[in-house]
Amino acid sequence: MKMYRLTALAVLCSAPILAAAQAGPVRIGVVTPLSGTYAGIGQQVRWGLDLAAAEINAAGGIDGRKLELLYEDEEANPAVATQKAEKLFQVNKVDFLTGTVNSGSTLAVGQVAERNNKLIATTVSFSDAITTDKCSPNVFRVNARAGMQSAALAEWLAKEKPQANVFYLGPDYEMGRSTVAAFKSAAEAKGSKTVGEVYAPLDNKDYSPFFGQIRSTKPAVIYTSMAGNDTVRLFNQMAEFGVSRNVQVVGASGTITSQNVTAIGKAADGFVTGVGYSPNIDSAENKKFLASFTAAYKAQPDLYGADSYGVLFFYKAAVEKARSTDTAKVREAMRGLQWSTPQGMKTMRAGDHQAMQDMYAVRVKGGDFEIVGKVAGAQAIGADTCTRF
């Protein structure tokens, strides 16, 4: 009888504690570059997340719970990113993680998430490997992968410059090599010919040593997947040395964005890329998002800001569907989930955890990103090749 009383008393005492824990905030850790070459990308990530968090909390939070964001600077360095992710999981006890930019960071942090039995969602990383051969049951991607970007860009290029000679210049790490490989495959399938390929180190200051090799191949098209401040230096140096004169320059969706287009100036005009977002998408969802974003930050959103805004609504929809922040329950809720974003409705493919969305070819003109082509999401996403789960 005494043991029953003690057990009952323990249950009664613990009930308020459990209720309080469940009523506490949903905590999302953000590991993103707030300094260094990719700080501009990290700024867009933060702006998008902060705007979405403010809107979600103003509307009652996630299943009645406040949403809280905790930021850590990953410096676009996988070694730093894993340390910061471990801290957020173990010390800060975050429920979920997002924000990684460097594809190597996303792959490394995905392993940290598995060890901690937690979920992460990337809004930036392009490497196909994240949702193909190196897929993880604990990693989701809400942004378009390299292969999806390439589908829209390759289709545009085949129409505008059929059977073109293409030279490739990428940053020498996971994202750079995977984006080049993805576009090369898509372009060659539509008749383009590869005439050269080189990779420059991250945060490279001088690209002129590569220009002789580029010129010698006489390309009609130069493809690059440089990003952040590296893009500014590359495009201005190509213009200064005349490398981009009478050549069509194309590239990955993160190469020229609203963050660096002003610094690049006229050298950016004519650049074409395949993207999952443009401020010129003509939809009610995007117009509302665009107005809120520009009012808050006096700057336009790019794909990083848009996808980072959308990821919090992805987490919100999944947690409310699961009625829990438990990893297994939320993971199951995420598979096949549809949710609203500035790009319209997205669907998270259950098999490989890759979001499906329409893709656009956009051209830079006077600092604006005009839409010049479109590929439906079902056509752009490609086959599910994840075999780990």
Residue-wise pLDDT for 269-292, tens only, equals 999 999 999 999 999 999 999 999
Mean pLDDT, to the nearest integer, of 39-46?
95
Of 290, 240, 282, 288, nearest in space to 265 by CA: 240
pLDDT of 94 reads: 98
Q: Is pLDDT at 49 greater than 80 in this prediction? A: yes
Distance set, CA 39 to CA 36, 74, 232, 259, 319 (Å): 5, 10, 13, 10, 30
CA–centroid distance for 64 within its chain: 28
Q: Is pLDDT at 344 greater than 60 in this prediction? A: yes
Q: Is pLDDT at 10 greater than 50 in this prediction? A: no
Q: For residue 258, name the pLDDT band (cuts at 50, 70, 90).
A: confident
**Could you give the CA distance from residue 153 to residue 316 in angstroms, rounded to a whole number?**
32
Between the two ends of the chain, the Cα-to-Cα distance in Å is: 49
Q: For residue 12, name the pLDDT band (cuts at 50, 70, 90).
A: very low
Q: Is pLDDT at 16 greater than 90 in this prediction? A: no
Of 285, 277, 278, 293, nearest in space to 340 by CA: 285
Q: What is the pTM of this model?
A: 0.86
Of 47, 94, 90, nearest in space to 70 by CA: 94
**Could you give the CA distance from residue 341 to residue 288 in angstroms, rounded to a whole number?**
11
CA–centroid distance for 271 within its chain: 20
DSSP 300: -
Mean pLDDT, to the nearest integer, of 112-118?
98
pLDDT of 37 reads: 85
For the chain, what are the domain ranges? 11-144+280-357, 147-275
pLDDT of 90 reads: 98
User: What are the pLDDT digits (tens) for 171-193?
Assistant: 998 889 999 999 999 999 999 99
Q: Is pLDDT at 17 greater than 90 in this prediction? A: no
pLDDT of 22 reads: 56
DSSP 364: E
User: What are the pLDDT digits (tens) for 354-377?
Assistant: 999 999 999 999 999 999 999 999
Mean pLDDT, to the nearest integer, of 115-126?
97
Q: For residue 255, name the pLDDT band (cuts at 50, 70, 90).
A: very high
Topology, domain 147-275: Rossmann fold (3.40.50)
Asked if 144 and 196 count as a contact pair (C-beta separation under 8 A), the reply is: no
pLDDT of 3 reads: 44
11-144+280-357 matches 147-275 in fold: yes
Domain boundaries 11-144+280-357, corresponding CATH code? 3.40.50.2300
Q: For residue 97, name the pLDDT band (cuts at 50, 70, 90).
A: very high
